[in-house]
Amino acid sequence: MATRSTARKDEFDALVVLERFLPYRLNVLAALSSNALAQIYAERFGLSIPGWRVIATLGQYDVRTARDIAAHGIMHKSTVSRAVSALEERGLVVRRANQQDRREELLALTAQGRAIYASLAPQALAFEEQLVSVLSREEQRTLSSLMDKLTRHARAMAPDGEAGQ
Amino acid sequence: MATRSTARKDEFDALVVLERFLPYRLNVLAALSSNALAQIYAERFGLSIPGWRVIATLGQYDVRTARDIAAHGIMHKSTVSRAVSALEERGLVVRRANQQDRREELLALTAQGRAIYASLAPQALAFEEQLVSVLSREEQRTLSSLMDKLTRHARAMAPDGEAGQ
DNA sequence: GATTAACCGTTGCTCCTGCAACCAATAAGC
DNA sequence: GCTTATTGGTTGCAGGAGCAACGGTTAATC
């Protein structure tokens, strides 16, 4: 193993090569993308990451429960709960009790919330566009399809309801 | 816009479709993979995520500074600092002052640290293998190459030294 | 060569986040 | 129908993580 006194193996007998280890690479890429995106919605709108995710989900789906949002984005339910409270306090989100099942609350954006969504969405898309601009359209489609496959499989692998609780 | 009283747009006029929005998808996939992997090194070895990353980096590169590790894995320098302190206290990592530049410290695994690395690495690889098993070898190579391109570009886009500070 | 700037790493502070326990409501079991 | 389990959501608590300010060291500037 340690043959030389001042060993410098430089990944000779490395067991895991991080640059090829998918979970590590996914984290690095997700962190880079998240950090960059966060600058937009944090600085300009004072939104946290979960806050933006809640708004984006409600912007797309109109009405959802906190549980749905958590499961969709692999967030802890307490994370979503607190994000929703903060957004409600700022008047961006409203809760409405579901009369069919009064355990859950139906969430929706207010007019103000939709305004932020409408203002933020194009900037988010522009960022994404810039990010994927190194790939050809064909490559983008391929990446998309591979990620879908992987995500479906990863969700299936996750212990029971780990797909967000 | 809101044409019907009980609107249910279901992504009709959604500005951002999360299922196709790359940063969101990257986060979801990274979270799924991280959560699953964390179970291995948290439960069996009491390691935090940054802790495991430090060990994996030193396992591969033998000797690195905290700064290197942070930049490599897009972690904040304080995160790495605290992870290293914890690992040192457990006797898994040693610091050695660099005599050429006494600002930085050269980090390395102890025998005990290497033992954990050796025990953990195969399990991590097995998990990765299981994760990518939905893809053919060809698809795995393609994904790998696309992710490399994207990551290089994302690193270049990041403000100056954001590639880990 | 003295001052200034840049850099590595640590730490106090604060906020975030996950866990687990909990409340309220519904569903299941008997 | 009453008890028990499950579920959606909240919250106290404790650990984790980012920010910014700092000490100590080296590089740059003049």
User: Hey, where are the domains in chain B?
Assistant: 21-153
The residue lying closest to nucleotide D17, measuring its CA against C1', is B79
Give the whole-angstrom CA distance, residue B95 versus residue B148.
Answer: 32
Give the dihedral sign, CA A85/A86/A89/A94. negative
Determine the residue of chain A that is closest to B34 in CA distance. Answer: A23
Give the whole-angstrom CA distance, residue B83 versus residue B89.
Answer: 10
How close is the nearest chain B Cα to the Cα of A89, in Å?
23
What would the pLDDT profile of A30-80 be if each residue is shown by its tens digit? 999 999 999 898 988 999 999 999 999 999 998 999 999 999 999 999 999
CATH number of A18-153: 1.10.10.10
> Above 80 in pLDDT, residue A156?
yes
> Above 80 in pLDDT, residue B165?
no
Give the whole-angstrom CA distance, residue B126 versus residue B119.
Answer: 12
State which nucleotides on strand C lie below 7 Å from a protein beta carbon: 7-12, 16-20, 24-27
Instruction: Tell if B105 CB is < 7 Å from nucleic strand C.
Output: yes
> Above 70 in pLDDT, residue A9?
no
Banded model confidence at residue A7, pLDDT cuts 50, 70, 90: very low
Q: H or E segment at A132?
A: helix A111-132
> Above 70 in pLDDT, residue A162?
no
| Interface test mutation site (partner B, options A120, A134, A137, A162, max chain B beta carbons within 10 A) | A134
Instruction: Tell if B90 CB is < 7 Å from nucleic strand C.
Output: no
Give the dihedral sign, CA B63/B67/B72/B78. positive
What would the pLDDT profile of A85-124 be if each residue is shown by its tens digit? 999 999 999 999 999 999 999 999 999 999 999 999 999 9
* Secondary structure (3-state) at B11: coil
How close is the nearest chain A Cα to the Cα of B49, in Å?
11
In sequence order, what are the beta bridge partners of A109?
A93
Instruction: Name every chain B residue with its beta carbon within 8 A of the beta carbon of A152.
Output: 134
CATH number of B21-153: 1.10.10.10
A9/B61 CB distance under 8 A:
yes
Instruction: Tell if B85 CB is < 7 Å from nucleic strand C.
Output: yes
